[in-house]
A and B are shown apart, each in its own frame.
Chain A
């Protein structure tokens, strides 16, 4: 059953990353429209900087789950390069669990933060976007990142994945 769950998490992570990519393209397009508006009519897109700022926070968060499967689990291999394969596998799985713990903490606190900000009714300066929207975009990403780190731990334990990086 874990195998199916892992596949689900991987697929979701991939879709989050793709959605992030699309969002990044939209940010770029909006910025270009704003530059043209400013140059040609003296009028940039209202609130362009704010929107970019919030959209980029969500975009980066959306990239996190996928990156855990593909190099984001960068480790220092230098000291254990000659250790037994089995030792490495166990250490790597535990390492991924610590990452899952950290992501889980961020996920939990970001959800709490979302409710607090919503309660307070904070909005952005120029076009009054409710700030909790950004939190609401980030929170699922951190939840999925937690799952991704857990899935990675299982894969590392089974020897189906390699810890990333040579650095």
Chain B
């Protein structure tokens, strides 16, 4: 093995070591990145690189999509749209067994159309749904699990921060990625509804039934939802029809949601401030890691390690689907200890070229990239709810502190089964993701 490659491996080792001793994730990548660049190129090269790298990486037109869609989600939250969504969904299916949990899933799915973050979706819908489910006598197991799993619909259904990041890293068309995510997002929603139904049948004592609302009451509950439906249709219809670029659609969406929330009279000055700060916090976190991963990857590229790894994989003669499954398993394990966004940002520059070199179901390059993006999205999503550390489960347990974590994970199982069925379907049948994309120009 060459010295640069050894350095490359050493950098990854250093990164893991820094993670173990609680160094912030962004710094666990920045520090080895500095060292690697220093050793593999030269100190002068490192300093020259740093002079322009922040400007070069951040002044990218498509990046604006991330904060804009985050802002849109916060306006929707602060404007009370999440409560309206949950009420409408509950009016629709609240009366069936497990109906209120199903309503929470549907509300998450609908909220996912204006919000690109799973944690935000889980927390927002959780705030309105958990007290209601508690009041009706639902068990902690089912309401925490439903909200943690349902929250992931925030990233499965476009807009999706993960897909935007994937699109930017791999230079794919974000609009097409969004289109590709629509059918898997619907499958995910239906799968979760089935999981709830199964759970409610098996453990009826966890989900007491509720009476059906009167017709007038139901119609009144549906009414406040129409602005969200219109915003969704304009934003994604516009993207899909080629009328808007994703940045334009996100701008329209953010301003429209702002106006709707204002018109409802629920968006106060404090709400606007909270929206800005939430967006700042989330955006900053993503881009701090983005800068770190970028620097470490530049250093790793100098070590030739990624190229060697790719050559080794393609020379191994393993079947493409086997390699894909191994990559996904690797992600699932790594996602157990590492934050999913950092994992994607760090590994994608290495893994993506490997995948693109594979012949998968005879797909062309663009279709393959979109299809793999969907698999990455699923893996990230599973990581958000799977033990030992599922971020969404933590967030929901923060809202329902009396429910033990083990109870929540027990409730998560049926949802995980649905996730694995979906991921298997997507691996086996690429048309599920690609069918809608082909009609775009």
The interface of chain A, by Cβ under 8 A from chain B, is 14, 17-18, 20-22, 24-25, 27-29, 31-32, 34-35, 49, 52-54, 56-57, 59-68, 70-80, 88, 91-92, 94-96, 98-99, 101-102, 105-106, 109-110, 112-113, 116-117, 131, 134-135, 138, 142, 163-167
* Residues on the B chain within 8 Å of A68, using CB: 284, 288
Judge if B229 is at the interface, Cβ distance under 8 Å.
Answer: no
* Residues on the A chain within 8 Å of B339, using CB: 74, 76, 165, 167
Query: Are A134 and B284 closer than 8 Å at their CB atoms?
Result: no
A28–B52 CA distance with the chains assembled, in angstroms: 26
16 interchain pairs (CB within 8 A)?
Answer: A21-B277, A34-B248, A60-B287, A63-B67, A66-B284, A67-B280, A67-B285, A70-B281, A72-B26, A77-B22, A94-B21, A102-B292, A113-B52, A138-B58, A166-B394, A167-B340
Q: Which of B22, B254, B281 has the most CB of A within 10 A?
A: B22
* Residues on the A chain within 8 Å of B255, using CB: 25, 28-29, 32
A67–B275 CA distance with the chains assembled, in angstroms: 13
* Residues on the B chain within 8 Å of A117, using CB: 52
Query: Are B27 and A52 closer than 8 Å at their CB atoms?
Result: no
User: Of B248, B283, B292, which one neighbours A60 at CB under 8 angstroms?
Assistant: B283
* Residues on the B chain within 8 Å of A116, using CB: 51
User: Of A21, A56, A135, A164, which one neighbours B63 at CB under 8 angstroms?
Assistant: A56
Judge if B388 is at the interface, Cβ distance under 8 Å.
Answer: yes
Query: Are B50 and A74 closer than 8 Å at their CB atoms?
Result: no
Give the residue name and chain of the A residue nearest to B343 (CB): A167
B65 to chain A, nearest CB (A): 9
* Residues on the B chain within 8 Å of A92, using CB: 22
Provide the B56-86 mask, 1 if CB < 8 A to any CB of A, else 0.
Answer: 0011110110011001000000000000000
* Residues on the B chain within 8 Å of A49, using CB: 61
A93–B391 CA distance with the chains assembled, in angstroms: 23
A44–B289 CA distance with the chains assembled, in angstroms: 34
**Closest 3 pairs (CB-CB, A-B):** A67-B284, A21-B276, A167-B339
The interface of chain B, by Cβ under 8 A from chain A, is 18-27, 30-31, 34, 47, 50-52, 54-55, 58-61, 63-64, 67-68, 71, 244, 247-248, 250-252, 254-255, 258, 272-273, 275-277, 279-285, 287-289, 291-292, 336-340, 342, 388-389, 391, 394
Give the residue name and chain of the A residue nearest to B279 (CB): A21
Query: Are B22 and A71 closer than 8 Å at their CB atoms?
Result: no
A60–B63 CA distance with the chains assembled, in angstroms: 9
* Residues on the A chain within 8 Å of B27, using CB: 95, 98-99, 101-102
Give the residue name and chain of the B residue nearest to A109 (CB): B50
Where chain B touches its partner, the secondary structure class is: helix
A105–B35 CA distance with the chains assembled, in angstroms: 13
A67–B25 CA distance with the chains assembled, in angstroms: 13
* Residues on the B chain within 8 Å of A32, using CB: 248, 251-252, 255
Given A17-B276, A31-B248, residue A102 in contact with residue B287 (CB < 8 A): no
Give the residue name and chain of the A residue nearest to B288 (CB): A72
* Residues on the A chain within 8 Å of B22, using CB: 75-77, 80, 88, 91-92, 95, 163
A62 to chain B, nearest CB (A): 8
A27–B59 CA distance with the chains assembled, in angstroms: 13
A61–B280 CA distance with the chains assembled, in angstroms: 10
Query: Are A63 and B287 closer than 8 Å at their CB atoms?
Result: yes
A14–B19 CA distance with the chains assembled, in angstroms: 28
Query: Are B58 and A76 closer than 8 Å at their CB atoms?
Result: no
* Residues on the A chain within 8 Å of B64, using CB: 24, 27, 52-53, 56, 59
B271 to chain A, nearest CB (A): 12
Query: Are B252 and A35 closer than 8 Å at their CB atoms?
Result: yes
16 additional contacts, CB 8 Å, given A71-B282, A75-B24? Answer: A17-B281, A21-B280, A27-B68, A60-B283, A63-B279, A64-B288, A66-B277, A70-B277, A74-B24, A74-B25, A78-B336, A78-B389, A79-B19, A91-B22, A94-B21, A105-B34
A3–B279 CA distance with the chains assembled, in angstroms: 27
Query: Are A35 and B55 closer than 8 Å at their CB atoms?
Result: no
A64–B30 CA distance with the chains assembled, in angstroms: 15
Give the residue name and chain of the A residue nearest to B340 (CB): A167
A159–B337 CA distance with the chains assembled, in angstroms: 25
